[in-house]
């Protein structure tokens, strides 16, 4: 039951109370097998695949410029066109569906 108290502290919602009627809920099972979880999520219409994660970006452009400035003693402007990020090829949805 300690996990329920921690969830309540973080999300300000007690997870063992029914959101419809306010009655007390009880756990009947913990499902830990990935294949079973995917089947249940597919059955209820929830996306069972994890969200796409964008690849990491490279080092900032100004890091390259500071190295060049230190070596040559001159001021070099970064090429800001290289900093432009391409649009992702998938829909980005930051919301969390519980």
Transcribe 21-83 into DSSP letters: T-PBP--------HHHHHHHHHHHT---SPPP-PPPP---HHHHHHHHHHHH-S-----GGGG
Query: Closest Cα partner for 16 from 28, 2, 31, 27?
Result: 27
- The list of the chain residues with pLDDT below 70 reads 60-76, 78, 82-83, 85, 88, 90, 92-98
pLDDT at position 43, please? 92
Domain ranges of the chain: 1-49
pLDDT at position 20, please? 86
């Amino acid at each position: 039951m300690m996990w329920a108290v921690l969830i309540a502290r973080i999300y300000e919602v007690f997870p063992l109370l029914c959101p419809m009627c306010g009655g007390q809920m009880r756990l009947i099972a913990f499902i830990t097998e990935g294949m079973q979880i995917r089947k249940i999520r597919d059955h209820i219409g929830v996306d069972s695949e994890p969200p796409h994660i964008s690849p990491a970006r490279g080092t900032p452009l100004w890091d390259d410029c500071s190295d060049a400035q230190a070596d040559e003693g001159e001021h070099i402007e970064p090429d800001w066109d290289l900093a432009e990020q391409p649009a992702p090829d998938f829909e980005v949805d930051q919301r969390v569906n519980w």
